A and B are shown apart, each in its own frame.
Chain A
Amino acid sequence: MNNTQDNKRALNIIWNASGDYSIDPQFKAYDENGEADIYWNYIIGAVHKYYDYPLLRGFFNYLKTDSEHEFYEKLFWLGLEKSVFDKGKYHRPVLNSLRKSHARKVLAGEAETFDDNLLNVIRNAHFRKALGEPPGITGNLLNILNDLEFGDAETEEIISKMNWIIKTYFRFNYGRYEVNTETNKKKVQKQVQQSDEEKLSDSDMEAMKDLYLDSAETSREVYYEQEKEKSKKPVRKVRLENKDDSERQFIRKYFGASIISQQKTYLIERGLCVGNHKNTHLHFTRGEFDDEFGDDTNALYYNKILKEQRQINLDNFNANYIKYKNSILKLTNKIRNTMLAYFESYTGKAEAGRLNPPVIWRNIYLNDNRVFTKVYNNDMANLSVDILLDASASQHERQTTISAEAYIIAESFTQCQIPVRVYSFSSLRNFTVINLYRDYDESDNMQIFNYKTTGCNRDGLAIRTALYMMESSNYFNKLLIVLSDCKPNDTQCIPDTGIKQEQTKYAGATGIIDTAFEVKKGINNGNSILCVFTGEDEDIPTAKKIYGHNFARIYYPERFAEIVGVLMQNQLKNL
């Protein structure tokens, strides 16, 4: 069993004992093998049940003002153990045997030993008493042990008793130290993050091109300090190639190597980068570092921040593991159930198949040969799902959420054995970059956490490209799920129509109409397109314009699975 599972197991025991599944316990107990300890986790849960825990939490926090707080905490827990055991033993007779076996384990030296020997002595005496043996200690130690018997006392009383113990027998707060450092640190970090999370307004968009380079370059100086040896070379290469090629090289540096040949990219561009998207380009990548730029500091830097974002995404996922796991479970069940209910086989009369005895007479008297039933399979495996993530800078503050949501959807479909492909799109300069995280025949959904936002979004071109990619798949039913804030915005204008450029830039109504058009085109060609709306409330009307009724707005992250589930259900039913 891994750490996350043990953590969840410990939580479950605590919840079970307390009867309250909403608590987030301050303590969890693991045995010497790192596995959830059933007896101690029960005690922790039961403390929540029998006492006013907020008061106790306050007291535990107070204990933390002493550098020896672990000692006092453990001592306090010994006292709490006895009192909640006494309270619970009539409700759960099994506690007698659990406690005894735990006591025997402690006395046999099989349990974890504490660093503090005094604590070990008191604990052993405590559990000897539990087994009905003489405690084997005298003097003050015995007094402490006896004072730890809280009996029927209420929470406040227990706290004052414990307070008395630590003040009388020990020198509490002798080594007082700053406890708030940790929270302070967190605050600072949060501030730093928030200042990073600048929202991009329309007017900022013009300056986007430079802004993105600049931000990379300004912060690069800090990076230089750490790795001075690497930064000997001048950064910019002399432009030997034509503009297009040098731009493409920049994009490769920024986003990673292309996964298809340049020739093929041109070919695709010729088909897709037309109309409103004339003069734009495409770049298909997996975000893998291009070895060609092995000593290019820019490229190395971009790669580094990509990895950092992955870690942030993963940390968020792990921190909310239980919540997300539940969502996956719910969504999987919902999809599976829809599949079962609507994609089932149906039977009909046939000239061959399984004989249907009640109608045999029809063959003899009416010469009807269709006296067999045949099962017609409605092949549910014939469905592929593409998940397209909007990776533009406007999604910056939601990176962790979006990567987790994409992971939940992808994982749920994967568990239903439905092929999934996940990719993101963003535009920089005049390139729309498609970053592929996982293809149909792969299974590693964790790659989705490589999701990182940058640049603008040319939704129309992205959807057009996604539909093009889906066309080449061999599945009969194709579902495209777009996670987007429905805010098309690209510095690259639509082709010059003689009007002032600003009025025709790819944003606002122009962008929305273009995107909506691409979506309609996709639906008309027999694809299903859904949107999980990730943006702000003010953009909901836009989402409606683009996706009609096929979008879901997630107000409460806890309800993510239900809402997306219903959306998928409706869509799958209509396939």
Chain B
Amino acid sequence: MLNFLKKEGIKERLINDIEKFRTFYKVDPKLEYRIPRPKYNYYGSDVWEEAITALLCGENLLLVGSKATGKNVLAENLSAVFGRPKWDISFHVNTDSTSLIGTDTFKNGQVVFRNGPIYECAKWGGFGVLDEINMAKNDSVAVLHATLDYRRIIDVPGYDKITIEDETRFIATMNYGYAGTRELNEALTSRFMVINMPNISKENLKKLLQREYPGLRDEYIEQFAGLFQDLQLKSENSEISTKSVDLRGLLASINLMDKGLSPAKALQMGIANKSFDDFERTLVEDVIRLRIADNLSRNEIFR
């Protein structure tokens, strides 16, 4: 992973600091399985440097961005780079303090406290990824305030107060403007350093496609990246919703093409059909038709 950072042109000094961080903070062998081995790499050296610097300084991160900006990929990459075990905590409307910190439970005839993921993460010095943090109600995440600010403690009523390990970091992600999301309150936001995740650039998207599908012909890497950009531009101009601007869908479609499904059909499944509005789908299909011919075969796309 550090080699990848060097290749991406991240400053030598930051990489050295990461190495120091990794040698200084050891990982309990029984938790090594929690250190992620990322499937995708995050491309974008500016964001990398911002994130690394903030984490080295002991700050928590809030990654804000629309769909397909790689929020979770970056969060996963970061815990891999820093070599820390990762806890994934998905937030939803019913998230409450018990699901974060822990709850009473009954074990061997006794009432005991069952640790929640935040508690565990803090105890073992992990990286906690708070996914879609703005899906939860603001009052239910207020329990995190003391955890996230300078106090760095978790005080469980009726049990104990623990101090968070120094190497613990929290990385929250949020997508502003999704259905069901809400404004994050100021108290919570002020406890994070915020990175506004940019849309993936064409160059980076091409790099990603090249790495994922080494067999893809260059001219089609160009076409798929162009297709994604066309859709992104259309969505930014409110002509279509974000449903079809789906990087996961594009990658999955290319996968299906690799397996032999016709490109037009694969893109229909992976991208166009993501929109359930007939007219919007027609607009998306037009964009696809101006990039990928209906009768294209697998061999024309792959080497």
Contact residues in A for B142 (Cβ distance below 8 Å): none
Known A-B contacts A340-B180, A361-B105; the reply to A98 vs B289 at CB < 8 A is yes
- Contact between A92 and B279, CB atoms less than 8 A apart: no
- Contact between A358 and B105, CB atoms less than 8 A apart: yes
Tell me the minimal C-beta distance from B267 to chain A in angstroms. 12
> Does residue A236 face the partner (Cβ distance < 8 Å to B)?
no
- Contact between A21 and B105, CB atoms less than 8 A apart: no
Contact residues in A for B149 (Cβ distance below 8 Å): none
List the 7 shortest-distance A-B pairs measured between CB atoms, nearest first.
A361-B106, A21-B237, A97-B293, A341-B182, A94-B293, A358-B103, A340-B180
CB contacts under 8 Å to B, within A340-354, are 340-342, 344, 347
User: Which listed residue (A92, A344, A361, A362) contacts B290, Cβ 8 A?
Assistant: A92
CB contacts under 8 Å to A, within B222-266, are 222-223, 226, 230, 233-234, 237-239
Tell me the minimal C-beta distance from A85 to chain B in angstroms. 13
CB contacts under 8 Å to A, within B176-232, are 177, 179-182, 219, 222-223, 226, 230
Kindly report which residue of chain A lies nearest to residue B182, judged by CB atoms.
A341
Sorting the interface of chain A by its residue count into under 10, 10 to 19, 20 to 34 or 35 or more gives: 35 or more
> Does residue B93 face the partner (Cβ distance < 8 Å to A)?
yes
- Contact between A15 and B180, CB atoms less than 8 A apart: no
Known A-B contacts A94-B223, A337-B180; the reply to A347 vs B104 at CB < 8 A is no
> Does residue B111 face the partner (Cβ distance < 8 Å to A)?
yes
> Does residue B66 face the partner (Cβ distance < 8 Å to A)?
no
> Does residue A19 face the partner (Cβ distance < 8 Å to B)?
yes
Instruction: Among A94, A95, A347, find the residue whose CB has the most chain B CB atoms closer than 10 A.
Output: A94
User: Which listed residue (A91, A93, A94, A333) contacts B289, Cβ 8 A?
Assistant: A94
Residues of B at the A interface (CB closer than 8 Å) are 93-94, 98, 103-106, 111, 114, 177, 179-182, 219, 222-223, 226, 230, 233-234, 237-239, 279, 282-283, 286-287, 289-295
- Contact between B286 and A12, CB atoms less than 8 A apart: yes
> Does residue A209 face the partner (Cβ distance < 8 Å to B)?
no
Contact residues in B for A97 (Cβ distance below 8 Å): 293-295
- Contact between B289 and A38, CB atoms less than 8 A apart: yes
- Contact between B238 and A330, CB atoms less than 8 A apart: yes
7 contacts between A and B (CB under 8 A): A9-B279, A16-B233, A21-B237, A36-B286, A96-B293, A326-B238, A347-B94
Instruction: Among A8, A19, A341, find the residue whose CB has the most chain B CB atoms closer than 10 A.
Output: A341
- Contact between A361 and B111, CB atoms less than 8 A apart: yes
Known A-B contacts A341-B181, A358-B98; the reply to A12 vs B239 at CB < 8 A is yes
Known A-B contacts A333-B179, A358-B103, A361-B105; the reply to A21 vs B223 at CB < 8 A is no
Known A-B contacts A12-B283, A16-B234, A21-B237; the reply to A344 vs B179 at CB < 8 A is no
Known A-B contacts A358-B98, A358-B104, A361-B111; the reply to A21 vs B180 at CB < 8 A is no
Instruction: Among B179, B181, B295, find the residue whose CB has the most chain A CB atoms closer than 10 A.
Output: B179
- Contact between A12 and B291, CB atoms less than 8 A apart: no
A336 to B241, CA, bound (A): 15
Kindly report which residue of chain A lies nearest to residue B236, judged by CB atoms.
A21
> Does residue A5 face the partner (Cβ distance < 8 Å to B)?
yes
A333 to B181, CA, bound (A): 12
Contact residues in A for B181 (Cβ distance below 8 Å): 337, 341
- Contact between A94 and B179, CB atoms less than 8 A apart: no
- Contact between B106 and A360, CB atoms less than 8 A apart: yes
Kindly report which residue of chain B lies nearest to residue A326, judged by CB atoms.
B238
- Contact between A16 and B111, CB atoms less than 8 A apart: no
Known A-B contacts A340-B180, A358-B104, A358-B105; the reply to A94 vs B290 at CB < 8 A is yes
> Does residue A1 face the partner (Cβ distance < 8 Å to B)?
yes
> Does residue A170 face the partner (Cβ distance < 8 Å to B)?
no
CB contacts under 8 Å to B, within A20-38, are 21, 36, 38
A98 to B103, CA, bound (A): 62
Known A-B contacts A19-B233, A92-B291, A341-B180; the reply to A329 vs B282 at CB < 8 A is no
Instruction: Among A5, A16, A97, A365, find the residue whose CB has the most chain B CB atoms closer than 10 A.
Output: A16
Contact residues in A for B180 (Cβ distance below 8 Å): 337, 340-341
A347 to B137, CA, bound (A): 12
A9 to B281, CA, bound (A): 11
Kindly report which residue of chain A lies nearest to residue B300, judged by CB atoms.
A93
Contact residues in A for B105 (Cβ distance below 8 Å): 358, 361
Contact residues in A for B237 (Cβ distance below 8 Å): 15, 21
User: Which listed residue (A9, A347, A360) contacts B286, Cβ 8 A?
Assistant: A9
Contact residues in A for B233 (Cβ distance below 8 Å): 16, 19, 21
Known A-B contacts A1-B279, A12-B286, A15-B239; the reply to A93 vs B234 at CB < 8 A is no
Kindly report which residue of chain B lies nearest to residue A330, judged by CB atoms.
B238
Contact residues in A for B294 (Cβ distance below 8 Å): 97
> Does residue A42 face the partner (Cβ distance < 8 Å to B)?
yes
A97 to B292, CA, bound (A): 10
Contact residues in A for B182 (Cβ distance below 8 Å): 341-342
8 extra interchain contacts, Cβ-Cβ under 8 A, other than A92-B291, A93-B223, A337-B180? Answer: A16-B234, A21-B234, A92-B226, A92-B290, A329-B238, A337-B177, A342-B182, A361-B104
Tell me the minimal C-beta distance from A28 to chain B in angstroms. 13
Contact residues in B for A319 (Cβ distance below 8 Å): none
A344 to B137, CA, bound (A): 10
> Does residue A359 face the partner (Cβ distance < 8 Å to B)?
yes
A341 to B176, CA, bound (A): 13
User: Which listed residue (A19, A94, A337, A342) contacts B292, Cβ 8 A?
Assistant: A94
CB contacts under 8 Å to B, within A358-395, are 358-362, 364-365
Kindly report which residue of chain B lies nearest to residue A94, judged by CB atoms.
B293
> Does residue A13 face the partner (Cβ distance < 8 Å to B)?
yes
Tell me the minimal C-beta distance from A13 to chain B in angstroms. 5
Contact residues in B for A93 (Cβ distance below 8 Å): 219, 223, 293
Contact residues in B for A8 (Cβ distance below 8 Å): 279
Contact residues in B for A337 (Cβ distance below 8 Å): 177, 179-181
A13 to B179, CA, bound (A): 28
Tell me the minimal C-beta distance from B196 to chain A in angstroms. 19
